[in-house]
Amino acid sequence: MLIDAPTGLGVLRALATLEQLPRFDKAGRYLPEADVVDQPRFAWRGLLIDPARHFLPVAVVKRNLDGMAAVKLNVMHWHLCDDEGFRVESKLMPRLQQVAGATGYYTQAQVREVVAYAAARGIRVVPEFDLPGHTGALVAAYPRVASNDSIKEVPVRWGLLNIAIDPTKPGTYPFLDSLLTEMSGLFPDPYFHIGGDENDGRQWRRNPRIVAFMRDNKMLKAGTADVVDKHQLQTYFNRKMLAILTARGKTMVGWDEILGPDLPQEVVIQSWRGAKGLNEAVRLGHRALLSNGYYLDLNYPAAAHYAADPLPAGTPLSAAQQLLVLGGEVAMWSEFADSVIYDSRVWPRAAAVAERLWSPQATTQDVPDMYRRLALVSTQLEGLGLQHRRAPAQLLRQMAPPGALGALSTLAAVLEPVKDYKRHFQGFKYTTQTPLTRLVDAAPAESDVARQFGTAVDSVLAGLAAPVRPPALARQLVQLRAQLLRWQANDAALQPMLLATPALSEYAPLSTRLGALATVLLERLTQLEANQPAMPVWQMTARAILDDAQLPAGQAELAVVKAARRLAGL
Ligand code: ACM
């Protein structure tokens, strides 16, 4: 075996590829003869890890770094503070750990340990200190930089709290200079992220002193004589941050909200809101990163993330502009992921984005093959110590009443958490202390069983529609019927146990609906096999059952409904 690479980093990547090469045949596992000529498409292939919402101990971070190295991701973006916590020890501002980090923080020695662990795996660590918004924890610890005195304690609720530090107080800058200087000393990477997202400026507009500052400094909306423009105040603030970081030899990175004509070009823009923001940043001469399309916390399937490309075919950017696109970052925000289930929300889906960012654009078109390989990578990651399979299984064992584990697991396997940000808005009140130990937390972000069911449904439909029925059809029909019978019987076994268990009863409707869906589809299979058309009255009932099956419960939903509609012809 020969590895030829221009750098040690290249050798590391080659070794990671080698780990994925073994094949199987009848004789067992073997390394095929292969000649791999390879290089990354993008230089910046990141994973954003958020220990701010739920603290993630060093062991969790390290095993995720192992996972990153296995799939050749090379930047850990460490989102170290937010409204709900500030996660690094400060020797200069100890209330940051004592107050803002009371629910968990990294000592400076631990930060150095993680940075060294990452470096040994060819992974850079870019810290993010989100400013001026997302600073609830910081202002609870140091009210002297707050825009008002409303925040007395570290916030414990998720959502947009619209807290921002006061960029007009002279004392804000010595404070941030000390803090960022101390923090930049912990992170050798030349890039340093100052966040900058989701500051709606309401705390500024409600403070007459801040409004007066904006008026005095002509920070006004274009064409108005007195309407203050928070974006200009944020740009003023960003320039101060840029001066501090530049003095420490750092290149500043920020989210796309900080973009504007007055932002110096050397700032790197990370677009989370859309490809439009990425392209705008590049047109204004900034280097840029894409995260839109790569938010794992939204619970979309790997295929959806795989389809998002920083430079898709038909990009409007010129060849020179394309060089400014450094790459992208997959992101896992942790409102609904604690140290127990974090891995299961990241892996294996992050591996699909890793391939997207590494491989040439055209080699990432074959989605079924991506899923075939994703399953292999998932097993490889498990071998490295990632808990993405074990932790949800363990949660199920803990929550299942005696005798119910099998049936509960069957239900959980076809559930997914509700998509997008819907989990915030379905009547259940979360705080930072709410245990993430409900069925929704054990449900996969992307159900393999549901995806395989969809594939089986499509094969059967194609077989039935073919002029000559393919030989495999009879076996596929038997398997599909067996699957539906299992789901039907599952509800009969599970329903009484769900109803008798207070912590699980919110999921009883989903079990009922899975059983009803299975019954409808069994009827449909009988019609299809007998070449009988569906009667309008059957269709009406079936449609009502499938509409019902789509409703969420306990912030989870059945992942098999779309495929069920295809099979039902509805
Ligand atoms: C973000 O999701 N607010 C960066």
Distance CA 146, CA 128 (A): 19
What is the atom index within ligand 1 of the atom nearest the CA of 333? 2
Is 477 inside any structural domain?
yes
- Domain annotation covers residue 496: yes
Specify if 275 maps to a domain.
no
| 127 in Cβ contact with 194 (< 8 Å) | no
Q: Nearest residue CA, atom 2 of ligand 1? A: 272
Strands 124-128 and 288-290: unpaired
Catalytic (active site) residue 523: no
Examine residue 403 and state whether it is found in any structural domain, yes or no: yes
Tell whether 52 is covered by a domain.
Answer: no
Q: Which atom of ligand 1 lies nearest, measured to the CA of 331? A: 2
- Which ligand 1 atom is at minimum distance from the Cα of 295? 2
Task: Tell me the helices (H) and strands (E) count for the chain, helix number first.
Answer: 23, 14
Distance 26 CA to ligand 1 centre (A): 49
Pair 412, 394: CB distance under 8 Å: no
Closest ligand 1 atom to 134 CA = 3
Both tokens assigned to 142: 């140091």
Give the C-alpha separation, 481 to 490, whole Å. 14
Q: Helix, strand, coil shares of the chain as percentages rounded to 5?
A: 50, 10, 40
In a domain, 494, yes or no: yes
What number does the ligand 1 atom closest to the CA of 195 have? Answer: 4
How many angstroms is it from 568 CA to the middle of ligand 1? 39
Strand partners, 269: 254, 288
Is 368 in a helix, a strand, or coil? helix
Q: Which stretches of the chain score pLDDT less than 50?
A: none
Task: Give residue 409 CA to ligand 1 midpoint distance, Å.
Answer: 33
CA–centroid distance, residue 257 to ligand 1 (Å): 9
Residues having CB within 6 Å of any atom of ligand 1? 197-198, 255, 272
**Atom 3 (ligand 1) nearest CA:** 197
**pLDDT tens across 323-340, in order?**
999 999 999 999 999 999
How many structural domains comprise the chain?
1
Going from the Cα of 173 to the center of ligand 1, the distance in angstroms, rounded, reads 24
Which residue from 253, 255, 332 has its CB within 8 A of the most atoms of ligand 1, so it is best to mutate? Answer: 255
Q: How far is the CA of 53 from the centre of ligand 1 (A)?
A: 13
Asked if residue 515 belongs to a domain, the reply is yes
What's the pLDDT at 1?
87
Cβ proximity of 174 and 142 under 8 Å: no
Strand partners, 44: 327
pLDDT at 261: 86
What range does the domain containing 548 cover? 395-415+435-568
Structure confidence by residue, pLDDT tens digits, 133-170 = 999 999 999 999 999 999 999 999 999 999 999 999 99
Q: Note the pLDDT tens digit of each residue in 191-246.
A: 999 999 999 999 999 999 999 999 999 999 999 999 999 999 999 999 999 999 99
Catalytic residue among 89, 113, 153, 198: 198
**Closest atom of ligand 1 relative to the 198 alpha carbon:** 3
- Do 344 and 388 meet the contact criterion of CB atoms below 8 Å apart? yes
* Residue 352 within any structural domain of the chain: no
Q: Measuring CA to CA, which residue among 50, 118, 120 is closest to residue 84?
A: 50
DSSP character string of 492-560: HHHHHHHHT-TTTGGGHHHHHHHHHHHHHHHHHHHHHHTTPPPPHHHHHHHHHHHHHHT--BTTEEETT
- Percent of the chain, pLDDT > 70? 100
Span from the CA of 122 to the centroid of ligand 1 (angstroms): 26
